[in-house]
Amino acid sequence: GESVGLHLPTLSVQEGDNSIINCAYSNSASDYFIWYKQESGKGPQFIIDIRSNMDKRQGQRVTVLLNKTVKHLSLQIAATQPGDSAVYFCAENIRETSGSRLTFGEGTQLTVNP
């Protein structure tokens, strides 16, 4: 069936390095993608989103890249800080006859070493 998945379940980086978190999706009808950050014991928090008619979107220290040819999404975090340590989820929005809803991947644990 359709699914959203992540290539790497864990990622460890040094403070100041750039981080790249990857996500694969299989539903070509997905029209919108979101990256969420979830700190321990908290609910997911929106980071950045991108529509399917875009290839790249930049925020503050974060960039999302979308490659529709290979159905791949990535989140790049520049100058990673200890406060970036969290689980990161990608989610795709799928339009259905009953409406649209987000489907979440399993998440990648990012650990930033000081």
Partner 1 sequence: NAGVTQTPKFRILKIGQSMTLQCTQDMNHNYMYWYRQDPGMGLKLIYYSVGAGITDKGEVPNGYNVSRSTTEDFPLRLELAAPSQTSVYFCASRRGSTYEQYFGPGTRLTVT
The DSSP code sequence of 60-86 is: SSEEEEEETTTTEEEEEESS--GGG-E
Which run of H or of E encompasses 10? strand 10-14
# of chain residues touching partner 1 (CB under 8 A): 22
Does position 30 bind partner 1 by CB under 8 A?
A: no
- Which residues is 112 bridged to in the sheet? 13
Does position 106 bind partner 1 by CB under 8 A?
A: yes
Does position 32 bind partner 1 by CB under 8 A?
A: yes
Among 64, 66, 75, 89, binds partner 1 (CB under 8 A): 89
- Of 4 and 77, the one with the shorter C-beta distance to partner 1 is 4
The separation between the first and the last C-alpha atoms of the chain, rounded to the nearest angstrom, is 41
- Of 18 and 40, the one with the shorter C-beta distance to partner 1 is 40
According to DSSP, residue 106 is labeled -
Binding positions for partner 1, rule: CB under 8 A: 4, 32, 34, 41-46, 49, 89, 93, 98-107
